[in-house]
Structure 1
Amino acid sequence: MLEEARRLERFSPPFAFSAFFSPEDTLLCVLAAESALGHLAASVAGGDGREPIRVAELTSGSGLVGLHLLGLDLSARLLGLDIDKEATRVSTRNARLLGVSSRAEFVQSDLWSDGAGELLASAMPQLMVCNPPYIPEPPDGAMEIEAGAGPNGTAHLLRALELTDALQPESLALSWCSVSAPGAIVRDAERKGYRLDTLYLTVIADGEYSGSVHKYLRGLPHAYISEQPDTIAAVAPDESASFAYLLFAGAFSRRKNGDVQAGAAGHVERICSDFARAGVTTLATATGPFALHCSILNRWDELQLRIILHGSVTNQQLPYA
């Protein structure tokens, strides 16, 4: 994944990140969004008279994914929504720093509010991106960092898919993980008339918060994690991980008349169950009715990815220097 991460070097400081920024799933979502944008661009009329592509980024955070797409399509327009006021301020500043303020608007809005629906209906996005909090919330609310993801981690994604009923976007780029009912997302997208074209998958060690909720996650019927020694060694050679799980990002397109996709959700669930049963080696034979890209991100790779996006401390002016 580090080769792919090089495309994001333009987002190093002074580009700023919101409080809940996670570079691993952000990069996967970028890859899925690129794929979805490419599919969309190929499906719309070409030539100088083409209308600008309209993009909406839900739970937009720093705005990185949507702003990256504006760098790929120099006429595209972006609407970003996030419930966090500070995230909206950060993303608006980032758009200004990148020189795309005239094509990007970020608004503080709750996805479940009437206001969000009205904003999206006005924008009528052709491509909708959502890289939300997706770790299931314990009943006691111990994982504040993932607030709002719901008991199985799918709340934002299912809301995004609900919004497609009225908006009818041509393409979607969504990210989720193997501890948050992974098949449910794909199954709901299929019910809404979308097919999974490309799936990006990476194996990653448990996060900073995971030690306190390890037992909780292990007990969830919809969570798939691996505690196989070879898998732990692959993602955390220093043995700092308790388990490994899968990050996903998918590029979806609206099905045409007569277009049928057989059981993509079942294939995703099978990939997850095989991983939970026998670990990382099962990914070598993973298949599905979609293009599949698999990778492993170990602790050292995670650190390098953060350096790429946050910038090396040796190249930054320290506040006391």
Structure 2
Amino acid sequence: MELTVRLKAQALAEGFSDCRICRPWDVPDVPARLQAFLDAGHQGQMGWLAERTHWRGAPQVLWPEAQSVIVLAENYGPEHDPLEVLEQPEQAAISVYAQNRDYHGVVKKRLKRLARWLIAEAGGEVKVFVDTAPVPEKPLGQASGLGWQGKHTNLVSRNLGSWFFIGSVFTTLNLKTDAPEVDHCGSCRACLDVCPTDAFPAPYQLDARRCISYLTIEHHGPVEEDLRSLMGNRIYGCDDCLAVCPWNKFASRAEEVKYHARDDLFSPDLAQLAQLDDAAFRARFSGSPIKRIGRNRFVRNVLYAIGNSGSDRLLPIAQGLIDDENETVADAARWAVMRLADVANTRAGADD
């Protein structure tokens, strides 16, 4: 008991926002839920989700010696309303978590410091994870009492709302556990109803193939045309279902300055972003999670946003990319030109 109290105090001292504990085997329903997701094909091109399902579904298989999982929350709450930029069609909407440094490195450093403290205090062995291993972090978060998986499938906290990352420390120590959290969504459908692409076939179910976060980050090649117009000006991720959650009334701005929005990543100009070549893209997004999708996928997303902008000013930008050496970019440029030309023709007809 005393060790657990000191551990949680140390976690807060390291900068985490909350710390809870469960057993690796406290998520018995994960294998069936994961298999149902895969059987429905909801993973899209994310083939890695179908790999190592024996680990992904059962954390105790990932590391049989582990007796406890320390689940930690890292607040990245914005100081602005993420939905406001959606009303500025010539500007780009970038998901809050990607408006500054890549969180993986920031969170992992904290996890390692906490793990070293735990070893020094009580011995045992540890392994740390943050979104890069087959660990069911959200179910573990619910089992530990950190929050509950809402109808949008993300973890929600009564103390932090929706804006937090999840990290975990697996240990061979037998620590005192916390009670699991229960569902507090009630009859609310805000997250389901706000989704522009209807990516939720039912509450607590996500079809990634229609999710804008998936389409802008994980999906390779051209996006289906019927979905492009629904993406609006969202070029990297989507915060809609998180932003409308009523539990965000308890959210606060991130204390970690590395999560505060960079000036050049807070509603940047679409025209500037579309003209980035590979070198300029890499330079601009050095240290950012955006860098991992590469210039071509990024400019593809920007061109979809330009096509949705209805702005004559952006037509020459799209025209300048219709012969891009990357066919996916060229396809997106042709689509944008067609969309903007249709808008221009409609306006001309109205003026007549």
TM-score with structure 2 setting the length: 0.24
TM-score with structure 1 setting the length: 0.25
Greater fraction strand: 1
Larger radius of gyration: 2
